[in-house]
């Protein structure tokens, strides 16, 4: 393969080119990805290129080309034989983020087809697949045929990624994870969107989280990431919109796999935490709006009707039944400890990242992909940000296997002060 000057390509020349902040061509990026997948180009060489990308970023053309190359590294789904509009939803991840468990059946109950491939959790953020595996018997490993058949029958399926869906991204992400190159907006965007495009839904709604519990810390960064992903989606002919949402405090009251499934069910039954409910309604409404080409107010009414009349909950139960789960058997530990408030005041802050790490330390999350998790442990917050609490009040119930677990680490997670501070919104805005 040759470069723009007609010379043989060389990985060192490509690294140097990016280090000097020059644009890489499609052929140069393909040379790197193909060579890395065939092991002709080594980890240390690709990590050097990734660092150069982190420092100098990428143009829109480079990002679109990288996404296309990664997409072509594996299989894609053909959903054309399934009648109806296919809409996918993706969250960039956070603490207590169980929105897919509510939003997917809610949008599907409004007549959309929801093909969802989700991942497992790593680090302080949980994964949808881990949550579903807390339901006894639930099959998260649908074959391609099973996935497509279920979509055709009930309009909803959630499964793990096929081993051959964007394999280049899997290999690149593993390298990024150990080389400090995860937090690059172009690399994040191409990673997410290559997987979304492989599913081949007609339209995509993104939940871009920002705050101390998210990968993206600032609103400006979140908006920039959203714009990059929307540009990718539109470039590939997929209408894409994004909501910028708050992860400066946990989503809902429960953090931990089985506990989050239980909370999602409460929302589907019309109960539960209002902030979490409002975010789910908003995400589902935008999915219905773009999926049916109707205005957001009309979509919101349709979504609320299907939540209130039980159709969304029934859709969730139908999915669980199709995937052989027993909804009456969710793994939740029966051993609990109560963490009590140590002073009077308002809860003005929650270190969401630290809270996610604490729940992970209980066994609910993974330090490495090989770790085995405990689906039944976690935390349920009895009070939220903005609440007034008194010394001795139960602030959180901790679900454990070992009742000798220390609660001391929670002392530094909750900020309690005499004066109440203004609450931040759960949704900062919509990017189209």
Taking phi over 0 as left and psi of -120 to 50 as alpha, with beta for the rest, 221 belongs to alpha
User: How confident is the model at residue 259, as a pLDDT?
Assistant: 97
175 domain-assigned: yes
Q: Residue 404: give its domain's CATH number.
A: 3.90.1170.30
Average pLDDT over residues 319-323: 98
> Does 225 fall in a domain?
yes
Q: State percent of the chain over pLDDT 70.
A: 97
- State pLDDT tens for residues 105-123: 999 999 999 999 887 766 6
Please report the pLDDT score of residue 13 as a whole number: 95
Residues 6+ apart with CB under 8 A from 296: 285, 286, 289
Please report the pLDDT score of residue 162 as a whole number.
67
pLDDT of res. 119:
77
In 3-state terms, what secondary structure has residue 263?
helix
Question: Does any domain span residue 169?
Answer: yes
What is the structure's pLDDT at 173? 85
Q: What is the pLDDT of residue 335?
A: 97
Domain annotation covers residue 3: no
Statement to judge: residues 287 and 412 lie in one domain = no
Q: What is the pLDDT of residue 120?
A: 73
Backbone angles phi, psi at 335, to 5 degrees: -105, 125
Residues 101 and 134 in one domain: yes
State whether 317 and 341 are in the same domain. Answer: no
Give the mean pLDDT of 366-388. 89
- Residue 20: C-alpha distances to residues 1, 245, 282, 404 (Å): 22, 35, 43, 55
Q: Identify the residue whose tokens are 């708050």.
A: 246
Residue 406 lies in a domain: yes
pLDDT of residue 431: 96
- Domain ends where: 295, 322, 349? 322
Q: Quick check: 352 pLDDT over 90?
A: yes
Mean pLDDT of the chain: 93
Residue 129 to residues 120, 133, 373: CA-CA distances in angstroms? 5, 6, 12
> Among all residues, which ones are annotated catalytic?
90, 169, 176, 191, 195
Domain final position from 300, 322, 344: 322
- Looking at residue 164, its pLDDT comes to 83
pLDDT at residue number 7: 54
Confidence at 124, pLDDT banded by 50, 70, 90: low
**Based on the domain organization, do 310 and 397 belong to the same domain?**
no
In tens, the pLDDT along 55-98 reads 999 999 999 999 999 999 999 999 998 999 999 999 998 899 99
Res 380: pLDDT: 98
Domain with 20 in it: what CATH number?
1.20.970.10
Average pLDDT score over residue span 279-302: 98
Q: Residue 16: CB partners within 8 Å, gap ≥ 6?
A: none
Q: Once rounded to an integer, what is the mean pLDDT over residues 262-277?
A: 96
Quick one: pLDDT at residue 5? 53
- 63 within domain boundaries: no
Q: Are residues 306 and 345 in the same domain?
A: no
* Residue 412: DSSP 8-state: G
The answer on 371 and 282 residing in a single domain is no
Would you place residue 367 in the very low, low, confident or very high pLDDT band (cuts 50, 70, 90)?
Answer: confident
Are 278 and 403 members of one domain? no
**Structural domain contains residue 314:** yes
Number of domains comprising the chain: 3
State how far the Cα of 376 lies from the Cα of 330, in Å rounded to an integer.
8
Within-domain flag for 313: yes
pLDDT at position 8, please? 78
What pLDDT is attached to residue 44?
94
Higher-confidence position of 5 and 95: 95
Looking at the structure, tell me whether residues 360 and 404 fall in a common domain.
Answer: yes
Mean pLDDT over residues 214-233, rounded? 95
Domain-terminating residue out of 269, 297, 322: 322
Per-residue pLDDT, 3? 57
Assess whether 349 and 318 both reside in one domain.
no
Q: 259: domain range?
A: 87-322
- 123 and 232 both lie in a single domain: yes
377/351 same-domain check: yes
318 and 342 together in one domain: no
Of the pLDDT bands very low, low, confident and very high (cuts 50, 70, 90), residue 179 is confident
pLDDT for the residue numbered 19: 95
pLDDT value at residue 183: 81
């Amino acid at each position: 393969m040759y470069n723009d000057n007609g010379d043989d390509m060389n990985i060192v020349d490509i690294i140097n080119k990016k280090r000097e902040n020059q644009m890489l061509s499609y052929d140069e990026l393909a040379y790197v990805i193909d060579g890395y997948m065939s092991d002709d180009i080594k980890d240390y060489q690709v990590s050097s290129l990734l660092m150069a990308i982190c420092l100098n970023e990428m143009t829109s053309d480079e990002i679109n080309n990288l996404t296309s190359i990664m997409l072509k590294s594996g299989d894609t789904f053909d959903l054309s034989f399934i009648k109806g509009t296919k809409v996918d939803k993706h969250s960039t991840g956070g603490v207590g983020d169980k929105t897919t468990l509510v939003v997917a059946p809610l949008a599907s109950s409004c007549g959309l087809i929801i093909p969802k491939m989700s991942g497992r959790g790593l680090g302080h953020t949980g994964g949808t697949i881990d949550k579903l595996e807390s339901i006894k018997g639930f099959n998260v490993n649908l074959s391609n045929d099973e996935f497509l058949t279920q979509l055709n029958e009930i309009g909803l399926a959630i499964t793990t990624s096929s081993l051959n869906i964007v394999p280049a991204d899997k290999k690149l992400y593993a390298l990024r994870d150990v080389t400090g190159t995860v937090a690059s907006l172009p690399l994040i965007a191409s990673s997410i969107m290559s997987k979304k495009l492989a599913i081949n839904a007609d339209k995509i709604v993104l939940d871009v989280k920002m705050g101390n519990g998210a990968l993206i810390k600032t609103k400006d960064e979140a908006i920039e990431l959203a714009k990059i992903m929307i540009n990718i989606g539109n470039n590939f002919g997929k209408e894409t919109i994004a909501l910028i949402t708050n992860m400066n405090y946990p989503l809902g009251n429960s953090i931990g796999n089985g506990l989050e499934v239980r909370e999602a069910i409460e929302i589907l039954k019309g109960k539960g935490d209002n902030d979490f409910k409002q975010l789910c309604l908003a995400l589902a409404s935008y999915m219905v709006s773009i999926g049916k080409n109707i205005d957001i107010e009309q979509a919101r009414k349709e979504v609320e009707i299907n939540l209130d009349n039980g159709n969304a909950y029934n859709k969730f139960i139908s999915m669980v039944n199709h995937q052989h789960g027993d909804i009456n058997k969710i793994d939740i530990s029966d051993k609990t400890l109560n963490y009590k408030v140590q002073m009077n005041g308002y809860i003005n802050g929650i270190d969401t990242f630290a809270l996610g790490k604490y729940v992970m330390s209980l066994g609910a999350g993974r330090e490495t992909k090989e770790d085995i998790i405990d689906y039944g442990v976690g935390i349920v917050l009895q009070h939220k940000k903005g609440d007034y609490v008194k010394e001795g009040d139960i602030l959180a119930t901790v679900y454990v296997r070992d009742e000798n677990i220390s609660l001391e680490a929670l002392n530094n997670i909750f900020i309690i002060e005499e004066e109440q501070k203004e609450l931040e919104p759960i949704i900062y805005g919509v990017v189209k």
